[in-house]
Amino acid sequence: MQLTFASYNIHKGVGLDRRRDPERILSVLHEIDADIIALQEADRRIGERASVLPRAEIDDTHWRVIEVAKRPRSIGWHGNALLVRRDLEILSGEALDLPTLEPRGAACGEIVVEGRPLRVIGTHLDLSGLRRRDQIRSLLGFCNACERNLPTVIMGDFNQWGRQTGAMREFAQGWHIVTPGRSYPSRQPVATLDRIVASTHWNVVSSDVHHTALSTVASDHLPVKAVLSLIKK
């Protein structure tokens, strides 16, 4: 079984032209055409934390939201949202809190694909770097505490420049760190902030930064994606 995973910091829908354009973001998602998508900065930071992607417009796509939101107009938790193809069964969704000096969290969902349950987590780690290690340890602690050892994929904006340095060293044995390439800033990317981390239940088939004319202007980050193959039991 192969699935395409994608992670995209959508910068609250605001592009390099300073216009908030949800339809443009959705167009980029259609370009990627992933099975499972983790979004960062998907909700506004003030007021009702409303989604920058209207639910009505998401309903017109072939994805649906894994429900983790604690506010009625939001689609995520601390800006983290998960979208999955409509033909995939959703078992559950959960908002995870992370140790932080600023509002940070993660969105976790369990789904079933071809009869096999999987876990997917979308997150956006600390910008300052002061709590990034603690946040990864918290995510790993959550996974280790779960009753079932499910195939797991953790995606997001890790805010970590080094591929195998700093906080990323917390992913030691048992994890593949997929760094598709430079994804920030979108116009002339120099930093590998966006990553996909997979448990050893998976083989990494390919990975890439989705760099098109549209994705260059839609957000300050470029989306990243990876094709993963689930190892047979």
Q: Domain of 94: which CATH number?
A: 3.60.10.10
pLDDT at 63: 98
The pLDDT tens digits of the residues spanning 195-220 come to 999 999 999 999 999 999 999 999 99
pLDDT value of residue 12: 96
Closest CA to 61 of 42, 81, 83, 44: 83
Q: pLDDT per residue over 108-142, tens digit each? A: 999 999 999 999 999 999 988 788 999 999 999 99
Residue 188 burial (CB < 10 Å; 0-12/13-18/19+)? exposed
Residue 169 contacts by C-beta under 8 Å, 6 or more apart in sequence? none
Range of the domain at 83: 2-230
**pLDDT at residue 103 above 80?**
no
Please state, as a whole number, how many other Cβ atoms lie within 10 Å of the Cβ of residue 64: 17
Q: How far apart are the two ends of the chain, measured CA to CA in Å?
A: 12
Strand ranges, E, within the chain: 2-9, 36-40, 63-65, 81-85, 89-97, 105-113, 116-124, 152-157, 175-178, 194-199, 202-209, 224-230
Query: Which position has the token pair 């890439």?
Result: 208
CA gyration radius, the chain: 16
Check residue 47 and give its pLDDT: 62
**pLDDT higher than threshold 90 for residue 172:** no
Provide the number of structural domains found in the chain.
1
pLDDT surpasses 80 at 164: no
Number of CB atoms found within 10 A of residue 177's CB: 16
The pTM assigned to this predicted structure is 0.96
pLDDT digits (tens, 9 = 90+) for 10-55: 999 999 999 999 999 999 999 999 999 999 999 987 667 789 999 9
pLDDT in tens, 51-100: 999 999 999 999 999 999 988 889 999 999 999 999 999 999 999 999 87
* pLDDT (mean) for 169-186: 94
> Looking at residue 104, what is its pLDDT?
87
